[in-house]
Chains A and B, each alone.
Chain A
Amino acid sequence: MDAVIDNLPLYWEGFWATLRLTLVSAAFALLLGTVLGAFRVSPVPTLRALGTVYVELLRNTPLTLVFFFFVFVAPQIDIKLPFFVSALVALSLYTAAFVCEAVRSGVNSVGVGQAEAARAIGLTFPQTMGQIVLPQAFRTVVPPLINIFIALTKNSSIAAGFFVTELVAVGIRLANRNAADVLMVLGGVAVFYLAITIPAGILAGALERRVAFAR
């Protein structure tokens, strides 16, 4: 137990790095994923194809491989990024594929009749989108988005293998230093992760139930 309490500052440092990784990549992934999602529901075939190819490639690639690219391969073609930035880019690009899918299925979940009725009573396209389609799509998208960001929190641990000192990296360092208390030390790391993932999971579940009633 002492090993955990004595090293609390180090834990906080790791936790802060994990939080920063998660929040910043979440923002970028949300942005890129929404754009790609818009591509995938757009009437322009080239853009749709681009979105589809991106999603299929990134979904079927292990995140570790994406990290591997930015840390080991990219420097060979003169893209040299600091390790923390590499981690941010890898996490954002990977997560964007999942955001894109959530956005797409959200928009597609809105009944065709809704938009048709909106157009039939004379609403313009911005009105149809802003007042009818997007508010309904948003409800469907939020629970899966929260789940995606839970996954992102856990995925950020892979950065530990690529020279970023976040929670798991702190755990490994402390575990090597306190061989007798390995379980305690790693248990401390686990508590920090659960502090994010379990409340977020409960929130997603609660929202999902509310949406289910609203339909």
Chain B
Amino acid sequence: MSAVLFDTPGPHTRRRTAIWSLVAGVVLAIVVVLAAVRLAQRGIFDADRWDIFTESTESWEALLRRGLGATLRAAGVAAVISLTAGALLAVARMSSSAWMRVPATIGIELFRGLPVLLLILFTALGFGSSIFIAVVIGLSLYNTAVIAEILRAGIQSLPGGQREAALAIGLSPGQTLRMILLPQAVRRMLPSLVSQLVVLLKDTSLGFVVGYAELLRTSRELRDFFGSRYIFSIFVVTAAIYIGVNFALSRFATYLEKHGTTRAAGGPAKQVPMDSRNA
């Protein structure tokens, strides 16, 4: 509840709120039950639609080891590349030399403004690389640009005294950036960085469109193998895996926001209301 909109409720209001809450709850429950009944009538909950998961481990293995494995492999490689290249690009973007700054700025704006799918296609069709490489490079190009901007925002949010003090004790501008500003910016922006990794992980599912055998692609292979009567159970398990992994990462970001990252001047940055640009 927003503290802005309402006064602290008295007994009368509290009762009315409770009644509304109950009404909404009942309506919601009815909708859920009706949906469940409809699904049950179509035999969605019958045991023979779920036996590929309850009676053997092969489907689990296919989804978790092959599917999730391929998803995590692509996400992991792309994450390492993006974080490293993102830091370099952020430094270039803030360089005092126009020869570094201008290309870095153009690169960031270009790759941030294009769909990841298009970047993957560029690599796959334009340069004829293998599909794994194409997915990794497509994801890396986009996320490098975004991470560079996150780090730049972090550096700019540091108190000005940090930079001034570093310059005053005789560090060069480059040293100041590398040794003083960037490490603190990383700490401050850690929650945003982890959120961006969630975005990256979700985007690996674009592999489905271009034919990289990641988690979602694997579920469709399972459907092709077992028949479309199993599509619902396969979908539920796939969704649960995605949501589980991403939810854990998102929680980690929230945890970092609340607890860790106190060692940067000015404390951890309040997370930007969602990294909406990368929705």
Contacts and interface: CB of A to CB of B under 8 A. Distances in A.
Contacts of A60: 198, 202, 242-243, 246-247, 250
Q: Name the residue in B203, B231, B250, B279 with the highest tally of chain A Cβ atoms < 10 Å from its Cβ.
A: B279
B178 interface: no
B242 A65 contact: yes
Most buried by B among A45, A64, A76, A106: A64
Interface residues of A, number: 71
Interface in B1-44: 1-7, 9, 13, 17, 20-22, 24-25, 28, 38-39, 42, 44
Interface residues of B, number: 64
Interface string B110-145: 101111111001100110000000000000000000
B228 A194 contact: no
A198 B235 contact: no
Interface stretch (B54-62, B87-95, B257-265, B270-278): B270-278
Q: Taking chain B's interface residues, is the majority helix, strand, or loop, or is none over half, making it mixed?
A: helix
A43 B6 CA distance: 8
Interface in A9-38: none
A157 interface: yes
A172 B211 CA distance: 13
B105 to A, nearest CB: 12
A114 B228 CA distance: 56
Contact of B220 (A62, A72, A152): A72
Contacts of A48: 1
B243 A151 contact: no
A78 B231 CA distance: 13
Contacts of A42: 1
B80 interface: no
A175 interface: yes
B24 A47 contact: yes
A61 interface: yes
B205 interface: yes
A112 interface: yes
A98 B279 contact: yes
B125 A175 contact: yes
Contact of A64 (B22, B25, B38, B216): B216
A160 B242 CA distance: 22
Contacts of A189: 118
A47 B216 CA distance: 32
B225 to A, nearest CB: 14
B242 A62 contact: yes
Contacts of A107: 2, 4-5
Contact of B118 (A46, A95, A161, A190): A190
Contacts of A5: none
B165 interface: no
A22 to B, nearest CB: 12
B36 to A, nearest CB: 11
B28 A46 contact: yes
Contacts of B6: 43
Contact of B273 (A56, A105, A171, A186): A105
B198 to A, nearest CB: 7
B232 interface: yes
Interface of A: 41-48, 50, 56-57, 59-65, 68-69, 72-73, 76-78, 94-95, 98, 101-102, 105-112, 114-115, 119, 128-129, 133, 144-145, 147-148, 150-152, 154-155, 157-158, 160-161, 168, 171-172, 175, 182-183, 186, 189-190, 193-194, 197-198, 201
25 contacts: A59-B246, A60-B250, A63-B205, A64-B205, A64-B206, A65-B205, A65-B216, A68-B208, A72-B223, A76-B228, A77-B42, A101-B274, A106-B273, A107-B2, A109-B273, A112-B4, A148-B277, A150-B113, A154-B116, A158-B115, A172-B125, A175-B121, A186-B125, A201-B112, A201-B113
Given A45-B17, A48-B1, A61-B246, 19 more contacts: A41-B1, A47-B21, A56-B247, A60-B247, A61-B242, A65-B242, A72-B231, A76-B42, A101-B273, A108-B4, A144-B274, A150-B277, A158-B115, A161-B209, A175-B126, A186-B118, A189-B118, A197-B113, A201-B277
